[in-house]
Amino acid sequence: MNRVIDNVLHRLLCMKWHRELDCQYRNVLKLNNISSTDKSKEKLWMRKWGGYKVPISALQYRVFRNYIGDDINIVPEEVLHLVIEPVLNSKMAAGFYGDKNFFEKILPPSYLPKTILRKIRGQFYDKDYKIIDLNNFHIAEILCGVEAKKLIIKPSVDGESGRGVLLFNFCDSDKCWKSNNIILTKDYLTKYLGDDIIIQEAIEQHAAIAKFNSSSVNTLRLAVYRSVKDEQCHVTGAIMRIGNHGSVVDNAHQGGCFIGINKNGKLNHLVCNQYGQTCQTFNGIDFSQDFYYPEWKSVILFAKDVCKHIIHHRLVALDIAVDTNGSPKLIEYNITPGSFSSWLFQYSVGSIFGDFTDEILEYCQMITNRTPTYKLK
């Protein structure tokens, strides 16, 4: 009975994803005046990706080939989220790994921004996970040792696309922390924020990155795959997100843009938004010039090492910033289905898994033993 219920729920989820993605990419095609593709190549793509009992649409192929060329390894999001991610990543372990308050239990603290305060299921803890008694909770005492001039408060669970992120600045004249008209107080922390939050010192980003937009930390998004064959971690794609002028977040869903980065750390010459619209100038910066991401080799080594610690998950999307000292810092990693955001890479870099695509598909077929069935649209 449980298997029957699981199969029904899986089918419903498949149809939900398919309808949403179909609508999304129809809008992208219309908005960008993208014409039809070579039907023979489209059929080959459908034949490769249509064998997983998941309804897929050729619309994604038509969209992404317009940006990265005819590539049979363009990954449909339905297959990524409903077939590949459930095999490569552990659903059972996602709750623990996904809570930002427990990143320091998984990774060296030096890899992360400095934590000041935690709130876990409504209970406050200090940076060392010691319970804080609310009767003796004095926010001024907790914050008195903060060296940074900016603090970030964000949800530690279920926070996506920059939602719920607050930036507080220290006001010298009033000797308090403010975000617009909000003053950071014990009352505010206990009554107006959720039960799961984390307060960290804001990263002061590298000058070479701050010039793209100084009001947000402009993070890298790296796609990392730990091979099922040799257990080595491979960076399969890289983009940099850039916040809109004046915004404190860099997410595309919040008005930001993103730009592809090649294997040598060189930025592309076009920035792109969430609707696939591209341009050479954003925030007054002309991206027709050659820009290189700072400390690129260190960033790649850092990303691979981070993923070695996330042992229950083979497919991880990392958000990384580089500070003024040139040290990479992990902002967060993304492991749950739907959070990988393959579209970021397939708009700007190439197929998300590149040379590892067939290795991944063969492994997923072996695990799930799915029978190829597909339908051309």
Which pLDDT does position 353 carry in this prediction?
97
CA distance 373 to 43: 14
Name the most confidently modeled range: 75-79, 120-124, 303-307: 303-307
User: Does some domain include residue 137?
Assistant: yes
User: Does some domain include residue 122?
Assistant: yes
Task: Say which range, 150-159, 201-210, 231-240, has the weakest mean pLDDT.
Answer: 150-159
Domain end marker among 146, 167, 201: 201
- For residue 170, count other CB atoms closer than 10 A to its CB: 16
Which pLDDT does position 2 carry in this prediction?
60
CA distance 290 to 90: 40
Which pLDDT does position 162 carry in this prediction?
56
3-state secondary structure of 248: coil
CA distance 116 to 318: 22
User: Does some domain include residue 108?
Assistant: no
CA distance 259 to 256: 10
Residue 338 and residue 235 share a domain: yes
Residue 213 and residue 186 share a domain: no
Q: Quick one: pLDDT band at residue 374, thresholds 50, 70, 90? A: very low
Domain end marker among 201, 224, 240: 201
Residue 75 and residue 13 share a domain: yes
CA distance 77 to 80: 5
Which pLDDT does position 1 carry in this prediction?
56
Which pLDDT does position 372 carry in this prediction?
46
| pLDDT tens digits along 85-139 | 999 999 888 888 989 999 999 999 999 999 999 999 999 999 999 999 877 777 7
| pLDDT tens digits along 196-211 | 999 999 999 999 999 9
Q: What's the chain's length in residues?
A: 377
Residue 45 and residue 70 share a domain: yes
Residue 263 and residue 126 share a domain: no
CA distance 363 to 245: 44
| pLDDT tens digits along 22-33 | 888 999 999 999
Which pLDDT does position 42 carry in this prediction?
92
CATH of the domain at 346: 3.30.470.20
Which pLDDT does position 133 carry in this prediction?
86
For the chain, give the mean pLDDT.
Answer: 89
Q: What angle do CA 213, 217, 222 make, to 5 degrees?
A: 110
Residue 347 and residue 293 share a domain: yes
Which pLDDT does position 67 carry in this prediction?
95
Residue 271 and residue 133 share a domain: no
Residue 349: pLDDT over 80: yes
Residue 192: pLDDT over 70: yes
Higher local confidence (pLDDT), 307 or 17: 307
CA distance 76 to 353: 12
Which pLDDT does position 375 carry in this prediction?
41
Which pLDDT does position 299 carry in this prediction?
98
Structural domain for 10, as ranges = 2-90+358-368
Distance of CA 267 to the CA centre of its chain: 18
Residue 321 and residue 248 share a domain: yes
Q: Which helix (H) or strand (E) holds 297?
A: helix 296-309
Furthest-apart CA atoms within the chain: distance in Å: 70
Within a 13 Å sphere around the CA of 232, how many CA atoms are in the beta-carbon half? 7
User: Does some domain include residue 99?
Assistant: no
Residue 163 and residue 68 share a domain: no
Higher local confidence (pLDDT), 234 or 255: 234
Give the pair of three-digit tokens for residue 104: 């320091």
Sign of CA dihedral 78, 79, 80, 86: positive
Which pLDDT does position 144 carry in this prediction?
79
CA distances from 93 to 71, 97, 228, 299 (A): 33, 6, 18, 26
Higher local confidence (pLDDT), 145 or 55: 55
Instruction: Report yes or no: 83 and 357 within 8 Å, Cβ to Cβ.
Output: no
Name the most confidently modeled range: 81-90, 158-167, 235-244, 328-337: 235-244
Residue 268 and residue 230 share a domain: yes
| pLDDT tens digits along 39-70 | 899 999 999 998 888 888 899 999 999 999 99
Residue 343 and residue 226 share a domain: yes
User: Does some domain include residue 227?
Assistant: yes
Give the pair of three-digit tokens for residue 184: 């950071």
Instruction: Report yes or no: 238 and 222 within 8 Å, Cβ to Cβ.
Output: yes
Instruction: Give residues with Cβ within 8 angstroms of 128, minimum separation 6.
Output: none
Average pLDDT over residues 2-31: 76
CA distance 22 to 41: 19
Residue 152: pLDDT over 70: yes
Residues of the chain with pLDDT > 90, as a percent, come to 64
| pLDDT tens digits along 251-295 | 888 889 999 999 999 999 999 999 999 999 999 999 999 999 999
Which pLDDT does position 3 carry in this prediction?
58
Tracing tokens 């739907």 back to the chain, one arrives at 338
CA distance 200 to 6: 40
Domain end marker among 182, 201, 220: 201
Average pLDDT over residues 340-349: 94
Question: Closest by alpha carbon to 198, among 145, 127, 249?
Answer: 127
DSSP 300-351: HHHHHHHHHH-TTBSEEEEEEEEBTTS-EEEEEEE-STT-S-HHHHHHHTS-
User: Does some domain include residue 363?
Assistant: yes
Which pLDDT does position 139 carry in this prediction?
79
Which pLDDT does position 4 carry in this prediction?
57
Specify the number of domains making up the chain: 3
- For the chain, the distance separating the N- and C-terminal CA atoms, rounded to the nearest angstrom, is 33
Residue 265 and residue 341 share a domain: yes
User: Does some domain include residue 107?
Assistant: no
User: Does some domain include residue 253?
Assistant: yes
CA distance 331 to 96: 17
